[in-house]
């Protein structure tokens, strides 16, 4: 069983930065960050595999960076050059299938993305 606890959300100005953290307990295949704004479908924003392969959709590529510190069992999402359209609830998820790399890269929205575990979410607001 995997438990996920996110932190680091908050408010930022356009062009600013925030770093999200997610403590991940237990074994998992892949971990990722997703976001969902009111009235929209949840979308993947970053995925990282155990071999350090990563994937980002075009909407955040070059601005967001996902990383995993195994010594701290913590997943991070560094968000730079924030835009108002980045405003959403952000969730970390674990135990995704490898094909989620392609889904996220192409911006394909798959219900649940095959993830087994989800965190409670942390709000990010950019104004």
Spatial CA neighbour of 108 closest among 51, 41, 61, 31: 41
- What's the whole-number mean pLDDT along residues 24-37? 90
pLDDT digits (tens, 9 = 90+) for 62-91: 999 999 998 999 999 999 999 999 999 999
Residue 49 burial by Cβ neighbours in a 10 Å radius (0-12, 13-18, 19+): middle
Q: Predicted confidence band at 29 (pLDDT cuts at 50, 70, 90)?
A: confident
pLDDT value of residue 119: 95
CB atoms closer than 10 angstroms to residue 119: 22
Q: What does the pLDDT average to over 95-112?
A: 93
Residue 59 has a pLDDT of: 96
Q: Tens of pLDDT along 44-60?
A: 999 999 889 999 999 99
Residue closest to 86 by CA, chosen among 109, 113, 57:
57
Tally of residues, the chain: 127
> Sign of dihedral through CA atoms 118, 46, 20, 43?
negative
Give the pLDDT of residue 58.
Answer: 97
């Amino acid at each position: 069983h995997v438990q996920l606890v996110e932190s680091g959300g908050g408010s930022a100005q356009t062009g600013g930065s925030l770093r999200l953290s997610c403590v991940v307990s237990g074994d998992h295949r892949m971990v990722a960050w997703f976001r969902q704004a009111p009235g929209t479908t949840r979308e993947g924003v970053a995925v990282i595999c155990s071999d350090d392969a990563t994937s980002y959709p075009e909407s955040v590529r070059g601005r967001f960076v996902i990383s995993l510190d195994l010594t701290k069992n913590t997943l991070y999402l560094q968000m730079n050059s924030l835009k108002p359209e980045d405003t959403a609830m952000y969730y970390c998820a674990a135990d995704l299938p490898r094909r989620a790399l392609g889904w996220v890269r192409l911006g394909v929205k798959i219900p649940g993305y095959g993830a087994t575990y989800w965190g409670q979410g942390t709000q990010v607001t950019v104004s």
